Amino acid sequence: MIKKIQTSFSNKINEIGLPILALCVVCFFWGTTWIASKEGVKHMPALQLAGIRQFIGGFLYVCFFLYKKAPWPKGKQWKTIIILSLLNFALSNGLSTWGVKYISSGLGAIINAVFPLWIVIITFFRGEKLAKQAILGLIVSFGGVCVIFYDHLTDFLQPDFRFGILLSVISTISWAFGSLYTKKKAATFNPYFSLGLQMFISSIFLLTITGATGTGVNITSIPVNSWWAIAYLVIIGSAITFIAFIYMLQKLPPEINSIYAYINPIVAVLLGAFIFGELLTMAIALGGAVTLCGLYMVNHSIRKSRKMALENKF
């Protein structure tokens, strides 16, 4: 009897505890990767940093699955993997890393969090109707972003600041297209192996660009601080947290696993203020809170629409 109770309790822990732990890992550590990227780009080109990070991370993933003798993707699966490698890693991760060279890590994280808004806008231009809650969420989020940038009005006179904002916005649009493409063309191929291949393919693309343009620095001249940042991004950002991310997506309902999108910016803003002395003003705090509330409304509307579509389908 006692053994049955212990087994039942252990199963409950595995069913609830591990997915929630994975969610906590994603919520916190993906917020810290913005700080590591900010440190890394101080001493080397951002695209080279992203390329090295993805090369090492992707190489480790691929080597692991080769050791496990996992089957390689076939046919159209390769097309999906290549497109996602460009959208999610080469463009989204590469440009967001480049963006924090010119703006604060906290601001970069907040901009990155608004990608659900682009999903709503993209689906609208595809002919889908927008729910009233989604429209209201868009307005609220836009208002929050305006409040955040109130303290940065003079910064817009600086070309580098505007360029950093542009890079960050494009990265969120790319992530939105990647998310929609994943939903539409989701392959049955192993998601972890696919992740490694996407990183590896993207790294070749990014490192080729830095090499061809002559913007990369010699590996031997990269300072220790940048290598520590790369090591952190590979181990924590590309390995542990991505594994936790895919695991929580498989085990938790959407309304719970989407929480990370709201917590990551908070972690990045607080750590940016603590480590780099980045400004943490009332406008940023208030605007960030309003923006995240708007994002919640948009996400809730998206989930509600998907649920209704599934109910109508069956």
Tell me, yes or no, whether 2 lies in a domain: no
Question: How many folded domains does the chain comprise?
Answer: 1
**Global pTM?**
0.78
Tell me, yes or no, whether 5 lies in a domain: no
Q: Which of 168, 185, 170 is nearest to 83 (CA)?
A: 185
Tell me, yes or no, whether 77 lies in a domain: yes
Instruction: Write the DSSP assignment of the chain as a string of letters.
Output: -HHHHHHHHHHHIIIIIHHHHHHHHHHHHHHHHHHHHHHHTTSS-HHHHHHHHHHHHHHHHHHHHHHTTPPPP-THHHHHHHHHIIIIIIIIIHHHHHHTTTS-HHHHHHHHHTHHHHHHHHHHHTTPPPPHHHHHHHHHHHHHHHHHHHTTTGGGGSHHHHHHHHHHHHHHHHHHHHHHHHHHH--SS-HHHHHHHHHHHHHHHHHHHHHHHT----GGGS-HHHHHHHHHIIIIIIIIHHHHHHHHHHHS-HHHHTTHHHHHHHHHHHHHHHHS-----HHHHHHHHHHHHHHHHHHHHHHHHHHHHHHHH-
Tell me, yes or no, whether 23 lies in a domain: no
* Domain enclosing residue 44, as ranges: 31-313
CB within 8 A of 42, min separation 6: which ones? 225, 226
Tell me, yes or no, whether 184 lies in a domain: yes
Tell me, yes or no, whether 4 lies in a domain: no
Tell me, yes or no, whether 48 lies in a domain: yes
Tell me, yes or no, whether 7 lies in a domain: no
| pLDDT string in tens for the chain (314-residue length) | 444 444 444 444 455 678 888 888 888 888 888 888 988 998 899 999 999 999 999 999 999 999 988 889 888 889 889 999 999 899 999 999 999 899 887 788 878 877 777 877 887 777 767 677 777 877 777 777 777 777 666 777 788 888 998 999 999 899 888 877 776 666 567 788 888 999 999 999 999 999 888 888 888 888 898 899 999 999 998 888 888 888 887 777 665 666 777 777 778 877 877 777 776 677 777 877 887 787 777 767 766 665 665 555 55
pLDDT of residue 26: 86
Q: Provide the b/e sequence for 270-288 (b: ≥16 CB within 10 Å).
A: ebbbeeeebebeebbeebb
CB within 8 A of 46, min separation 6: which ones? 37, 94, 97, 98, 99, 100, 101
